Amino acid sequence: MPSPEPVRLGRKRVLPSCPNPLFLRWLTELRDEAKEKGLKIQYTYQKAISSLNKYPLPLQNAKEAKILQNFGDGICKILDDKLQQYLREHGPDAPIHSLPEGAPPPGRRDNNSLAPSKKKNAAGDHGKDKGGGGGARKKKREYVPQKRSGGYAVLLTLYRQSQIPGSKGFMFKMELQAEAQRLCDKSFTVPDLGSKYTAWSSVSTLIQKNFVIKTHNPARYSLTEEGLALAERLDSVEQTKAGSEGDREEEQEEEEEEEEEEGGPGLVDLTADDDDDDEEKKEDRIHPAENPTCAEQPRSEAEGFSGKSQNSRAASGKPNAERLQPGTYEIILCVDFIETTGGSHHRKQELVKELQRNGVNFDVRKLNVGDFLWIAREKLAPVPGQLRAPAGRELVLDYIIERKRMDDLCGSIIDGRFREQKFRLKRCGLRKPCYLVEECGSAASHLSLPESTLQQAIVNTQVVDGFFVKRVQDVRESAAYLTVMTRYLTKLYQNCALICRSRELEGDGGSDEEERGTPSCSLISFAEFNHGAVKNKCQTVREVFARQLMQISGLSGDKAAAILEQYSTPHSLLTAYDRCASEAEKEKLLSSIRYGKLKRNLGPALSRTVYQLYCTQGALS
């Protein structure tokens, strides 16, 4: 048997030899010079060093290094110049794959070459990098999320959910956001003003560092082995702190009990009479009407959304209905973050400034459909000791606005987005969709479509599709309209008790009220609304079939919906075609289907087009 290798004592480990030590030494010198001057190119040199350390073959010249990552023309030219100078000094036959005698090893720095300030830092940091390989060999810092950050909350939530007996081992996005919000100071759904990032943005970092894994569609999030270990450490630290705080609270309670037993100051009212207390209790039992109970009084802000009282259940007609009583919520305008960032930044910031100047209470967040809408947000008092007030429940009012400039309208008509947007607005669950059209003035004459076509599209949107259309001249008028609408809705809903309903309950609550001109008081939550309006979510066969039908020229959303009521899938439509006795009957199969409010027939021309699309073998003529 071969003799075992001798054990090396000490902290230094043997580094593998680099086949290109000259290039490595020159890159290290360039990096150190840039670092001492405070130049950002030091990071480029460091990346090139890392790539060169991983390359196992010798290079004959710097041009061959272009195949490596982070080696551009500039670095290769510098290395070639240094190589030519090296050959002039040591001769054309000098070895380039080994260092000259007495030269320091590559990747290490001589303390004599350090600037005075760097020497001081090196002497002060000797305990952090003993026996290491210099700056290039610095130990990588372990990733630990900051307390009450997005990553911290997600890791702890997934870990604690996995410890529950019978746990499914994963969480969906919405339930993960709802559970993790209690452990995070930043919102998971609402970005800060002027930013597009939320606490949920840290999940991509967790996935990249292999702490969290994302699978399936809809997405499922679960912990990896590394994430489980890190989350367990975070939870143990949290439990330790919670235990110490609990001990302090128990000590305080014991002290208070001792003070009560000893008759501590401020705890016993010496002027009160026991007989008076007994008489008050007796009067409460005999005359309950003179002392109204909590159920008869207006509910407090903290109770506003619980909906647990008998009065709220009786008023709603549904058990456990979630309600917002008048005075327990505020009306807030929600602005899509696309309307405040990117594109024409000056014009979009002008909208924000106008809203601020008008004193509008608004919030910038991501909206999956529409540009503006209004929510009723529960008002909750701040909790002592917490930085931010707890997040209240949010219900979406039945008004949503899509803003269109004339140039944007022209582009959306050309690429087909306009019809799809109208279809999504009708299906978003809100009953009052609106288009806010900004005129471009003289700019409309330079668009790809004639102005008459654009005007016809606007009229069709109002008359045929049933949208309310408001025309304004510029951004300032748009802000003025949003301001007026916000104040109008605040007054309209000020005496309404709002009930939370599910989006699946179509037509639940409010049709009678709408006919009388009063607002609907049965609303869906913002989280359910925004999740249901995701554009690229997993679609059913029925939804894909509807999108296919709407690609046919002249087939609007109402016509597609009417076809889907009769034939919900392509298979059911093809089966109906097979039952027809002749070609003429197949072509007229859909012609008698009625659509829209006027219940007009679909017509033979459109019926023939759909038949040809789905039943013609080969290319369409």
Catalytic residue numbers read: 336, 339, 371
Q: Sign of the C-alpha dihedral, residues 294, 299, 301, 302?
A: positive
* 550, 556 contact by CB (below 8 A): yes
Q: Where are the alpha helices (DSSP H) in 63-172?
A: 73-90, 116-124, 150-162
Closest CA to 561 of 542, 575, 533: 542
* 505, 528 contact by CB (below 8 A): no
DSSP type of residue 620: -
Is 304 buried (19+), middle (13-18) or exposed (0-12) by CB count in 10 A?
buried
* 504, 528 contact by CB (below 8 A): no
Closest CA to 362 of 383, 345, 340: 340
CA separation for the pair 213, 46 (Å, rounded): 30
CA separation for the pair 337, 371 (Å, rounded): 9
Q: Residues with Cβ < 8 Å from 436, sequence gap 6 or more?
A: 371, 372, 401, 402, 403, 404, 470, 472, 478, 481
CA separation for the pair 424, 328 (Å, rounded): 32
CA separation for the pair 371, 566 (Å, rounded): 33
* 433, 400 contact by CB (below 8 A): yes
* Bridge partners, 354 (sequence order): none
Is 222 buried (19+), middle (13-18) or exposed (0-12) by CB count in 10 A?
middle
CA separation for the pair 609, 285 (Å, rounded): 78
Rg (CA), the chain: 35
* Bridge partners, 433 (sequence order): 400
Strand 432-438 to strand 394-405: parallel, antiparallel, or no bridges (unpaired)? parallel
Q: Residues with Cβ < 8 Å from 405, sequence gap 6 or more?
A: 437, 438, 440
18, two tokens? 């680099």
Q: What share of the chain is helix, strand, coil (3-state, %, to 5)?
A: 50, 10, 40
* Residue type present at position 82: K
Q: Residues with Cβ < 8 Å from 207, sequence gap 6 or more?
A: 213, 214
What count of Cα atoms within 13 Å lies in the side-chain half-sphere of residue 312?
25
Residue found under tokens 């090139």:
48
